[in-house]
Every structure is written in C-alpha cells, then in structure tokens.
Amino acid sequence: MINRRDFLHQGTLGAAALFAAPKIGWAGASTSRTADSRIEVLFDEPLGTISPNIYGHFTENLGGVFYDGIWVGEKSPVPNIGGLRKSLIEHMRRIKAPVIRYPGGCFADSYDWRDGIGPVEKRPRRTNFWANAESNQAPLNHRYDPNTVGTNEFVHFCELIGAEPYLAANVRSLPASAFQQWVEYCNSPAGTTTLADARVAAGYPEPFHVKYWGVGNESWGCGGEFTAQEYAVEFRRYSTWLPNYGDKLNLVASGPNTDDWSWTREFLEEVLRKGPGELRRIYGLALHYYSWNLSRGKTQDWVAGKGDALRFDTVDWYELLREGERMENLVTGHWQVMSEFDQEHLVKLVVDEWGPWYRPGSEATPGDLLEQMPTLRDAVFSGMTLDIFNRNPEKVAMANCAQLINCLNSLYLAHEDRFVITPVGHVFELYATHQGGQSLRTIFSAPDLHYERDGSPASFWGLRGSASVRGKTLTLTVVNPSTSEARMTEIDLRGAAVKEANMSFLSNADIHAHNTFDQPNVVVPVTKSLSFNQGPLVVEFPPASVSALNIQLE
C-alpha cells in the first residue's frame, strides 16, 4: 500500500492501464421555461470579505512548471519579458492573480535560496528534489536545477503580474539563520546590509517587501517527517525575532494533510504550551488537500486509487466532485479544532495546495512530471472549490491552486512557443470579480441528482455556488454538476433589484472536453446578456457547467 508520503519519498510514478469510457453528451438544452430550481441571495446576511488571496497560485520548481512553463530565457524566440513567458504574464494580469507561492512544495525543504542569487553563470547546478521521479524523456534541467530562476526572477515575475510573492522557507535542511537571511535579502533597504547590497547589485534597489512566508512545507512528510509537537517547536524557533524592516511578515505554519485533525490540534497545543501570546506569530495554518482517490472506496493506495484525467465515465465525473466536496468539511472541521485554541480567530486557514491529482498519462508534453490535462470536469471541480472558499470568507485567508502551469490542476499548459489556457484557467477568469467582494449567504434549492454507483443508488446535489457584492455589482457563480440536465433557475435577490445582468459560462456537450495546443478554444467562456421583465431573473444553467452572473444593481 502506497500513500502520498511514501510516494513523495520514493518518487514512484506508477502508470496504470487506461480504460475506455463512452462519450457522454448533453442531449440538448431544456426547452421548458418552468423553473425547477431557485437561488436566493440574502443581502442582509453578509458572511465577510472574500480575501483576494483565495484566488492564489502555486508554482514549484518541479517538472515543466518553471523551465519551459514560466521561464523561457531572455534569448528565447518565445515572446518574453526578462526571460519570463509573456503570454502567461498577460493572462495572469487579466485574472488579477493576487499571490503566488514558490518554490515548493516538497522542493522548498531541499532548496537553498542562496544558490539562486548573484550572476546567473556563477549559480550552482543542484539535484532537484524531484530528480528520482523524473522520466528519461524529461530535459536535464528538470532533474538538475540550473538555478537560472531564483528569488530575483520569481519576484520580478510577481511584480509584472501585480501579485504578491509567497515564499516557502526550508525547515528540513537549512538552519533558522538561512530563513532570517532570506528575509534580509528580500526586505532590507538598500545600503543597510551586505545582502541588500547583493540585491542592489543584481538590479533591484527597492526592497521586495515580501509579506507572506511559509515556514516549511508538509512538515509531517517530505518537509522533515516531524510530529506535530516537534514541528511546533521548530516553528517557534524559525519564527522568533525575524527582522521585519517595517513590513508585517505573515507566517504560514505547515498544517494538516486532509483530515488529519490531530495535526491541527497537537500543533496548536504545543505552540501554546509557551503561552497564549504565541498564536500572534501565526498568520495561517496551511491545509493541503488533493482529490486523488477515485476508486469508489476500494483502496487507499496512492497509485492504484488514482483515476484518469481524460478517460472517465459519468460515475467517475461525480466521484471527483464528491471528493472535491470534502473541502467544505475540511475547512469547517479544521476551523472547529482551531476554535478550541483560538477563540479570537487570530489564525486563519491557508489552503495552499488543492486540486485533483490523476495518474500519469495525459501530459501535454510527454515527460513533464505530474503534468495532467485539465478537462471540463476539472473546471466544474475548480468552480465548486472556489465557491466553497467564497462561502467561508472568515476562515480561509488564502488558497493556492496546485499548480499554475504544466502540472496538476493547471490554468495553463505551455511548451516552447505553444501556450494554451485550460478550462481551469477560464474558471479563474470567470470568478475574478469575487475578489475583495462581500460574501452573501445564498440558498440554492434544486433537485438532487441520482445515479448508480457500483450497483447502488447514489446522489449528488443539483446546484451550488456563491455570491458576493461590491458596490452596485453582484457576482453570482453557479455550478451545475449534472452531466445531462440543464437547470432552469429563478434567481431572487432579497434586498436588491436588478438593473441589468449578463452571464458567462463554460460548458460543452462532451464532459471530457479540453483545450490543447492544436485546439485551444474547445472550452472557452460564452457570454450572453440576460433579459427580464421586472419579475425575477430566470436563468438556464446548462449541464456540466460553471457560470458567472454579473448583475448590476439598481
């Protein structure tokens, strides 16, 4: 039996046989105008401000994420800005990417940031954390890190996008002083320290003002195999008397894997052993949750339990969504445990790795480690997950989809001069206006979906989403998970009136639909204006769809 911890440890990538799945499509839009569902947006029940950082990203020095994905090199014929892929920067600006996590992931706890500064030609080549897992098809720089991309290049990437950098420090294999000096390199003003001089010499006179810092990654696994108590002691040590140069440092502690409630409990218990004030040093507790087990309860084996990114039937479609749905319980469950120790809620949840994880075999670029092909199913999954975060704004301060490009639930795929926005990338575009909005309690009433799961009846909810308001604009995002039925839905705004409205949605008659380098526009948003006659807005949500309604209020 292999679990994620063993997998990461061994670098094992087992390929399993693919199975053929029938094509399932939508027979056609419902022609009936009778609403079968209802959405009520309650303007007098605000839930809290949606942190823009919930729409964050994760980039690890892994496979083709950096070398080929983000970084093409200054001399590359691929359009770039200082070596960084231009088309990627442009789209990330469009989706208002707020924060980007780097350099890992597991890579972070083997990385020495000092290797990635100074003249590029003098930077050392190092064995990448993921080297053992790389296939023979992978280019050399995926296995042996040339350090061409380091802190300067990454922060430049963030600046070009307008995003905050979120750096993960190495707790497993570097001392606390290295963390302190990384902060010094990034944030000390020009002329004050030797490391500031080094930054200035590299062409960056202004401090980077890095505000978000991870203290290790998955410290229960690849980040050191610590117990929660051991890690809490390390966390206190690494976070003590960090220089701040006037910037507030928001420290993210390595948190639980999935439903490991005891990690959350024991970590906080141990941190607090030193005194109640200790909580003030923690900005967030990182929760990691991947939806990987599509075996329908048959196995917990990390390799055998995986499903296929492209070949799946309707039951697999719902199975992924059921796995994704667990996120809501994980957020509320860990929050409940945190509440036992932190009645003031000083510490928030930072879901800095989330997304589906399939078996290998669907890579757009053969040889790219952990790369998979996102389909409409992943778009629906991602919309559903972002809605969960929107509905819990007081609990979730940040979330980072794993991972940005050429990896797991990627928004983009790129290879050399080819670049494509995946259905997941389009979901982030549709949801961008939620950032900074006031989340409103919203009631979704729709018939449950019924299907057969291995000979037994199974059901799944029929319609869900989230709503937020900013000034006179309401954003309502809605997921229809049904593979075959449209939902005719009456939308009631309790406490506001519609002036005008439009809707953008992603859907396709084929639930496997995805965008490739050759066919980049198979799943793209369609926008239409919505007409209404003083009465309630009635909207048809196509089957297998993610929609965003942009409603201007009177």
Binding site for ligand AHR (CB under 6 A): 4, 8, 60, 104-106, 217-218, 353, 402-403, 408
Least Å from the CB of residue 204 to ligand AHR: 27
Residue in this structure with the two tokens 């053969």, named with its chain if needed:
366
What is residue 359's DSSP assignment?
P
Least Å from the CB of residue 303 to ligand AHR: 14
Q: At what angle do helices 261-272 and 228-239 cross, to 10 degrees?
A: 50
CA distance 273 to 75: 54
Q: Which amino acid is at 236?
A: R
Residues in a beta bridge with 418: 415
CB closest to ligand AHR, residue no: 105
Least Å from the CB of residue 109 to ligand AHR: 9
CA distance 53 to 432: 11
Strands (E), 232-276: 250-257
Nearer to ligand AHR, 26 or 58 (CB): 58
Nearer to ligand AHR, 257 or 264 (CB): 257
Nearer to ligand AHR, 151 or 217 (CB): 217
State the catalytic residues.
Answer: 218, 353
- Say whether 546 sits in a helix, a strand or coil: strand
Quote the tokens at residue 535: 């009465």
Strand order in the sheet with 464-470: 526-530, 498-506, 545-553, 473-480, 464-470, 438-445, 37-49, 487-494, 537-541
Strands (E), 142-187: 144-145, 164-169
Nearer to ligand AHR, 397 or 402 (CB): 402
Nearer to ligand AHR, 53 or 403 (CB): 403
- Say whether 196 sits in a helix, a strand or coil: helix
CA distance 355 to 250: 24
Least Å from the CB of residue 138 to ligand AHR: 16
Nearer to ligand AHR, 83 or 105 (CB): 105
CA distance 470 to 476: 12
The residue among 478, 441, 451, 442 whose CA lies nearest residue 463 is: 478
Q: Any idea of the CA torsion for 429, 367, 110, 217, to the nearest 10 degrees? A: 40
Least Å from the CB of residue 372 to ligand AHR: 11
Nearer to ligand AHR, 207 or 221 (CB): 221
Least Å from the CB of residue 106 to ligand AHR: 4
DSSP labels, 449-518: EEEEETTEEEEE-S-EEEEEEETTEEEEEEEE--SS--EEEEEEEET--EEEEEEEEE--SSTT----SS
Q: What pairing do the DSSP bridges indicate for beta strands 412-415 and 456-460?
A: unpaired
Nearer to ligand AHR, 5 or 322 (CB): 5
Note whether 256 and 263 are within 8 A (CB).
yes
Least Å from the CB of residue 76 to ligand AHR: 26
Least Å from the CB of residue 168 to ligand AHR: 9
Note whether 412 and 425 are within 8 A (CB).
yes
Least Å from the CB of residue 5 to ligand AHR: 8
Nearer to ligand AHR, 282 or 407 (CB): 407
Phi, psi of 502 (to 5 degrees): -140, 170
